[in-house]
Structures are given as structure tokens and as C-alpha cells.
Amino acid sequence: MKLKISVILFISFFCLSIFSQKAGVIRGIIYEKENGEPSFGTNVKIKGTGTGASTDLNGFYQISKVTPGLITLEISNIEFKTIEFEVEVKPGRIVTKNFYMEENTEILNEFEISAEAKERKTDVKMSVIKATPKDFAHVVAIGGEPDFAQYLQTAPGVITTGDQGGQMYIRGGSPIQNKVLLDGMTVYNPFHSIGFFSVFDTDIIRSADIYTGGFGAEYGGRISSIMDISSKDGNKKHFSGKLSINPFGSKLMIEGPLKKLTDEGGSTMSYVFSGKTSYLETTSKILYSYIDTAGLPFNYTDLYGKVSINGSNGSKVNFFGFNYKDQVRYKAVSNLNWNASGGGTNFMLVPSGSPVLIMGKFNVSDYEISLAEKDPLTGEELSPRSSKINGFNMGFDFKYFF
């Protein structure tokens, strides 16, 4: 009996080996031509067949078991012009093709949305909200600027509180049971003391995955919800920026190439920087003088920076860091301050001669809160109290495409 099983397994692996040697592989990265950002959710398929793949968050796609010969790839996305490109696939060889998609200016009367049946079989998709800056812009914003915190308040099962922390209660869990990640870094307090704003600048967010249940072991350490936010790499073709001012505060975002993307492709280097600050303590004296002429005691400053290095074959490495500060000053009573900071790197390697994708990350983050009080009777300053937490994340992800 054991001999029969061994023979069957040997024949199976032998046949698989022969098939693998005959079949070819097509893979690469899909970019947006305007700024060089990876295009997420773009469909790449072999024309005339049902064989294809969708790009991931890094714009990566791979189609395995491709019959050798001359084929036509069809790259399509509702926001961009469709590309058709002929590729010659050789037996047992890996073909790497990167594409740059132009924005679609045509007006469509109707379109169809279909889910990936294969993905539904392997991934748990219940209680998952996928959001982009376009989704944030659909929510009525306080101060005229879309914000992640205000968008989150519209999600099912989310209850928010305001003063001193802007806490989020999701599906009945306490705030400390929520885990918030920015490019893999843990942000321990992602909401400002006013409660209306988050520490994230929506202009640098590429996507946000909100898991209110059914998340895997990779998101260990929390039991209520996971908010996994990814930032964009920065414009790889030209310098750009944005300055906005509203009654609550102002922000500045700049991005551009350190090594410009050419029409022929090749390696690139880009950066993105964002800064936000609040002057509510000053403007509230005018806007809310009918409530209190002393104004509101809230202030914050948010800084984030990222440098992205991209290889010609799709490999890339990112370096990033953040610093978020909040200050609440109750005059003649107490000063409450908290400071969050962190930094790290992540990478994606696409070996040219192997059907494997290697990804990794390493980052550290820190959070400290301090309280300075005065004796209500004598007015003397008491000894300040503080609390601190820090940690690090490290991980590797290997994907082998059979």
C-alpha cells in the first residue's frame, strides 16, 4: 500500500515538473503614468481567455501556467485607458513586463462590477471595509477637509467620543482593543484630543483597510478591530504640492522625484512629506466668543515623511517616519500632552529568475503622555505624571507561485 502511494506521488510530481517546465510566467508592475504610483486593482488578462490576475497594493501582478507562444495582454481599469500588448512567452521562462496607464477621459454611461470568485474562496471578506481618499471625500467634513476619523464614524458598528482622545468604540470593544497601523507601524493614539480629526493626512493615503472582525493572525495583539493604512510613494515625474487653510488649522503636502521617471521606465526615487497644525486655540476666541472668551485649549502638530526607491524590475524599498503631538492647556489647572513618533522601512523584492515574491518590514513606534497639574488651593505646581509605551514590528512574507 505504501509503495502504491509513493508511486502515485512520484508520478504526480513528475507530471507537475514537466508541465511547469513547459509553461511560462508573466509578471510585472502596473503604474499610473501621470505620477508613477502603483495601480491597485487593475485587471491583467490574456485576451480571448479567462486567464488573468489583478494587481495588489504594490501594483504587482503575476499570471502562471501560460502556454508558450505569442499572446496579447489586456490591461484594463475603469479609471484608465485599456492597454493591449503582445508578449512572446517561452517554455519555462519568466517574462517581466511593466506598464504605465493613462487616465481615461471618456465618460461612461454604465459599467459592471464583479467580484473575484477565486478570492472569495480563499479570503475572509466579511466585516472588511476598503477605503480610498475618494471615499473620504464623499463624507461631509468639519472644516472643509476630508478626514479619516470623520469617515470612520460613518462605518457600521462604530461609536465615537470627543473630548480628550477622540476614542473609537468598534463592535462594543474598548479603544485599546483597536489596532491602527500606518505602513506597518503601530500608531497608539491616532485621533486628536478634539475628537473630530485623525493624525493622518488623507492626501498621502493610498488605501485604508478596516477590519471589524475576521482578521488573521498577522494582525495580532488586538481583538476588536484593525485599521491598516498605507501611504503613497510620492510623485515620480514632477514636483507637486498642496496648501490648505481652514478655521481649525492648516496643512502642507509636498511630493516629487529625487530621480525622475523617464518614458523608458527604469529606476526611480521619490519623496512625500506632510505637515498639519492647529490654531484652534487662537481662532476659537473669535469664532466661539459667545461661549468662552478664553478660547478652546486644543492644539496639535502632525508630521510625516517617506522616501521610496524603485528598481526597474518592480523591486522597491521605502523609508518613513512620523511625529504626532497633542497639547491641551487648561489655564490655571493642568497641561496635558501626548507625543507619538515612529519610523521604519519595508521592501518588496522581485527576483528576475524565480517565481517568488519577497516582502518584509521593520519599524519602531513610541507613545508618551504627560500631565502637569497645579494645586487648586495654593496654585503650586505638582510633580508631573507620565506614562509611556513603545514597541516594534518585524516580518517577512514569501510568496511562491506554483
| Residues 193 and 312 placed together within one structural domain of the fold | yes
| Residues 254 and 150 placed together within one structural domain of the fold | yes
Burial 146-173 (b: 16+ CB within 10 A, else e): bbbbbbbeeeeebebeeeebbbbbbbeb
Q: Among residues 335, 395, 394, which one has the least CA distance to residue 369?
A: 335
Q: What 3-state class would DSSP assign to 381?
A: strand
| Residues 300 and 373 placed together within one structural domain of the fold | yes
pLDDT at 143 over 90: no
Query: How far is 268 from 36, CA to CA, in rounded Å?
Result: 9
Which region among 90-99, 249-258, 287-296 has the lowest average model confidence (pLDDT)? 287-296
How does DSSP classify residue 198?
B
So what's the pLDDT on residue 373?
86
Kindly state whether residue 202 falls inside one of the protein's structural domains: yes
Kindly state whether residue 334 falls inside one of the protein's structural domains: yes
| Residues 220 and 96 placed together within one structural domain of the fold | no
**What are the angstrom distances between the C-alpha of 97 and each of 87, 304, 321, 348?**
9, 33, 32, 17
| Residues 263 and 324 placed together within one structural domain of the fold | yes
| Residues 93 and 153 placed together within one structural domain of the fold | no
* Residue 68, domain extent: 2-102
End-of-domain residue from the set 85, 102, 119:
102
> 110 falls in which pLDDT band (50, 70, 90)?
low
So what's the pLDDT on residue 366?
95
Percent of the chain, pLDDT > 90? 34
| Residues 153 and 61 placed together within one structural domain of the fold | no
Query: How far is 273 from 255, CA to CA, in rounded Å?
Result: 6
So what's the pLDDT on residue 6?
53
* pLDDT tens by residue, 323-342: 999 888 877 678 888 899 99
Give the pLDDT mean for 4-11. 50
Kindly state whether residue 111 falls inside one of the protein's structural domains: no
- Across the chain, mean pLDDT equals 82
**What are the angstrom distances between the C-alpha of 215 and each of 91, 127, 222, 235, 237?**
39, 9, 10, 32, 37
| Residues 97 and 132 placed together within one structural domain of the fold | no
* pLDDT tens by residue, 355-398: 888 999 999 999 999 988 887 777 788 888 999 999 999 988 88
| Residues 163 and 275 placed together within one structural domain of the fold | yes
Kindly state whether residue 256 falls inside one of the protein's structural domains: yes
Kindly state whether residue 37 falls inside one of the protein's structural domains: yes
End-of-domain residue from the set 59, 85, 102:
102
CATH number at residue 259: 2.170.130.10
| Residues 134 and 64 placed together within one structural domain of the fold | no
> 123 falls in which pLDDT band (50, 70, 90)?
low
So what's the pLDDT on residue 162?
53
Residue 22 neighbours by CB distance under 10 Å = 12
| Residues 61 and 134 placed together within one structural domain of the fold | no
* pLDDT tens by residue, 165-197: 457 777 777 778 888 999 989 999 888 876 678
CATH number at residue 85: 2.60.40.10
Kindly state whether residue 378 falls inside one of the protein's structural domains: yes
Kindly state whether residue 116 falls inside one of the protein's structural domains: no
Kindly state whether residue 159 falls inside one of the protein's structural domains: yes
Which residues on adjacent β-strands are paired with residue 180? 227
286 backbone dihedrals φ, ψ, rounded to 5°: -95, -45
* pLDDT tens by residue, 288-317: 777 667 777 888 999 999 999 999 888 999
> 84 falls in which pLDDT band (50, 70, 90)?
very high
End-of-domain residue from the set 54, 86, 102:
102
Q: How many structural domains comprise the chain?
A: 2
> 13 falls in which pLDDT band (50, 70, 90)?
very low
In terms of Cβ atoms closer than 10 Å to its own Cβ (0-12, 13-18, 19+), residue 134 is: exposed
Give the pLDDT mean for 258-283. 88
| Residues 348 and 265 placed together within one structural domain of the fold | yes
**What are the angstrom distances between the C-alpha of 66 and each of 16, 17, 26, 56, 280?**
14, 15, 8, 20, 60
